[in-house]
Structure 1
Amino acid sequence: MARGELMKKLLASYGRDEEFRAVAEQIIGEEEKKNNRVLARSLRKSLETGPSPRSKPRGLAPLIPFPESAGDFIELVEPSHNKQDIVLSSENVRIFLSLLREYRRGDEIRRRGLPVRSKLLFCGPPGCGKTLCAEVFAAELGLPLYIVKIDRLISSYLGETATNIRKIFEFARKQPTVLFFDEFDALARARSEDGEHSELRRVVNSLLIFIDRIQPKGFLVAATNFDQSLDSAIWRRFDEVIWFDRPDRRMAARFLRMKFKNVPLQFDPEAHLDGLDGYSYAELERICVQAIKASIIDQRKQVSEKDFLDALVDERRRRRRTARIAEA
């Protein structure tokens, strides 16, 4: 990577200790490659003896130098949510607690010749918490979260997409991380679908091989809104498949309480649960946020029932229009 680009990345990462250190390590590595060993040693000494980094989550895995080969396709995401910000079914809570315990006893399990679950597939409709769950899961594990940039990964040049995927998997093999593929169906679409050309089939073939062979130090997580579009051979490559459904009445009630917990209300949102059946978390959040904003705009200290109902009307209008587009 050009020196100027590295310096821009270094300045942009200031204040985010792990990312700053990773970019600094890249710069030092570049100087070592140029045989500027005196400068490289001086930079490394400054990096090691500099001010102590701010406190970080307990047990956070150390970052290896960010690989230039994969840098165009993955993005480090700083966690901004925790387990208090997500509502999961009791089944999914049980699965994730089991995965956490298994990961923490991983060395002991491997010594007995048994595999540790590390490849997860998240399925479910949009807006039901798949991406948020990946973020919270990474934070609970104490691992950095990297999101794969699918749009950059998929190349218009024949053969390049598989090469790009190889770079991503090589990074995940070395780095203890949660590597998150959103919109995974864009890569793993069924090879039997009409109109799919030979390049896509080659990509899927390569993807199957990479997933089979990799034993990540952390977790490989793939998410899709269209599980019916996935190639049939994909499913058995994952150690665990987790479904994220639209919230039931109990989960929706809990979500509303969470969103309004620090907001004075003139009404009981749970009285409107009958009208929220089938709504996703993303849709419920838009309703809550819009109702709160309405009270702020009117300079009122409490959110009224009218604020909530007006926001609900807007969301219903949006649902109707998007449903027509989906059917077209």
Structure 2
Amino acid sequence: MARGELMKKLLASYGRDEDFRAVAEQIIDEEEKKNNRALARTLRKTLEAGPQRTQSAPKALAPLIPFPEAAADFVERIEPEHNRNDIVLSAANVRVLLGLVKEFRRADEIRQHGLKIRSKMLFCGPPGCGKTLCAEIFAAELGLPLFRVKLDRLISSYLGETATNIRKTFEFARKQPCVLFFDEFDALARTRDDSGEHNELRRVVNSLLLFIDNMQPKGFLIAATNLDRSLDAAIWRRFDEVLWFDKPEAAMIARFLKLKFKNVPIAFDPARHSAALEGYSFAEIERVCTQAIKAIIIERRKQVQERDFNRALRDEARRRAGQARLAPII
């Protein structure tokens, strides 16, 4: 973006801390690209020495390059709708993610010491345990746009095209500072030892390994899978970090229930049901909470009663029992 336009944006954002900082960081990035590194370092030190940022989720930066037509069919931008207060994570995952954010914000200093930045993550765990939500919130915390890979477009029925499509997608992430998110990653990275897979899919995995190896993103690559045992053995070492999203324990469930009912009048303590919900995913627990809340809207009452919650919990248990009967068939 032209310097004049950036200066206009900077002045227009004065008084709005998050907007002002976002534009200032764009100006610093522009100076770094022009090899004005001394000026960029001075500006960054001045920015960091200023007032501390508020705890609200940062706004994503505007793209610095035009959206490339070559990748337009294979990625879609996801606008953030959640912030860090909308998710419950294990202590281990919080520690790793905070460390990655700190590395990203000190990337230049780390590289000056000849060290690499962790930028490739693999999220593993059962469905409904927060992998996609975590990717969205992580991108928002960094102030980076989130792009989700459209696997239905990426995987082509024509021999040889899938690897070409993957190359275009990785080329996009190489140029565009962003978080590139591969959901259902096992569809691409399935083990090559599977005798049922044909040679074309094995070639796709070979290409994928090379692209991940050679990728030096300006942001992050995040791949998520529910079927980690199906991944090719060579995939694992390509990622700087592997985060496990397990079904929540009682303490995490209690925090999640408090989160879901924080703006809703209730006549009982939802945390008392934490033990009964162990083994449920966050998505299943959220469905229970949503159904209980709907009851007071439908019946025009002012508070959620414990019976509303129990009825919703019974419905979810019935649904789970039906799915368990189908599990051997799926």
- Partner of 1:95 in structure 2? 96
How far does residue 321 in structure 1 lie from its aligned partner after superposition? 1.2
Q: Which residue type is aligned with residue 307 of structure 1?
A: D
Structure 2 length normalisation: TM-score? 0.82
TM-superposition CA deviations, 1:148-184 (whole Å, max 9, x none)? 0011110000000000000000000001000000000
Equivalent residue of 2:114, what SS? Answer: coil
Equivalent residue of 1:246, what SS? Answer: coil
- Partner of 1:117 in structure 2? 118
Q: Which residue type is aligned with residue 262 of structure 2?
A: K
- Partner of 1:135 in structure 2? 136
Equivalent residue of 2:162, what SS? Answer: helix
Equivalent residue of 1:69, what SS? Answer: helix
Matched, 1:217 2:233: no
- Partner of 1:70 in structure 2? 71
How far does residue 141 in structure 1 lie from its aligned partner after superposition? 0.3
Q: Which residue type is aligned with residue 282 of structure 1?
A: A
The within-5 A match list for 1:261-276 is 261-276=262-277
Matched, 1:255 2:244: no
How far does residue 285 in structure 1 lie from its aligned partner after superposition? 0.3
How far does residue 61 in structure 1 lie from its aligned partner after superposition? 3.6
User: What is the root-mean-square deviation in Å for CA atoms of aligned residues?
Assistant: 2.2
Matched, 1:243 2:259: no
In structure 1, stretches of 5+ residues that fail to align are 1-24, 26-44
How far does residue 194 in structure 1 lie from its aligned partner after superposition? 2.4
The within-5 A match list for 1:309-324 is 309-324=310-325
How far does residue 274 in structure 1 lie from its aligned partner after superposition? 2.0
TM-superposition CA deviations, 1:72-126 (whole Å, max 9, x none)? 1100011000000000011111001100001100011111111000000000000
Contact 2:251-2:274 at 8 Å conserved across structures: no
Supply the distance in 2 between the matched residues of 1:317 and 1:203 (Cα, whole angstroms): 41
Supply the distance in 2 between the matched residues of 1:100 and 1:275 (Cα, whole angstroms): 35
The within-5 A match list for 1:133-212 is 133-212=134-213
Structure 1 length normalisation: TM-score? 0.83
TM-superposition CA deviations, 1:199-235 (whole Å, max 9, x none)? 1000000000000000000000000000000000000
Supply the distance in 1 between the matched residues of 2:8 and 2:112 (Cα, whole angstroms): 37
Supply the distance in 1 between the matched residues of 2:195 and 2:269 (Cα, whole angstroms): 51
TM-superposition CA deviations, 1:217-272 (whole Å, max 9, x none)? 00000000000000000000001111111110000000000000111111111122
- Partner of 1:290 in structure 2? 291
How far does residue 49 in structure 1 lie from its aligned partner after superposition? 8.8
How far does residue 275 in structure 1 lie from its aligned partner after superposition? 1.2
In structure 2, stretches of 5+ residues that fail to align are 23-59
Supply the distance in 1 between the matched residues of 2:70 and 2:216 (Cα, whole angstroms): 20
- Partner of 2:301 in structure 1? 300
TM-superposition CA deviations, 1:30-61 (whole Å, max 9, x none)? xxxxxxxxxxxxxxx99x999x79x7765344
Supply the distance in 2 between the matched residues of 1:171 and 1:296 (Cα, whole angstroms): 46
Supply the distance in 2 between the matched residues of 1:236 and 1:223 (Cα, whole angstroms): 15
Runs of 4+ in 1 over 2 A off after TM superposition: 55-62
Supply the distance in 1 between the matched residues of 2:137 and 2:289 (Cα, whole angstroms): 22
Q: Which residue type is aligned with residue 162 of structure 2?
A: T
How far does residue 62 in structure 1 lie from its aligned partner after superposition? 3.8
Q: Percent identity?
A: 68
Contact 1:122-1:244 at 8 Å conserved across structures: yes
Supply the distance in 1 between the matched residues of 2:61 and 2:110 (Cα, whole angstroms): 20
Contact 2:182-2:223 at 8 Å conserved across structures: yes
Q: Which residue type is aligned with residue 151 of structure 1?
A: D
How far does residue 325 in structure 1 lie from its aligned partner after superposition? 1.8
Equivalent residue of 2:251, what SS? Answer: helix
Supply the distance in 2 between the matched residues of 1:209 and 1:198 (Cα, whole angstroms): 17
Range moving further from structure 2, 317-326 or 75-84: 317-326
Q: Which residue type is aligned with residue 118 of structure 1?
A: S
Count of aligned pairs: 285
Contact 1:61-1:176 at 8 Å conserved across structures: no
Q: Which residue type is aligned with residue 293 of structure 1?
A: K
How far does residue 277 in structure 1 lie from its aligned partner after superposition? 1.0
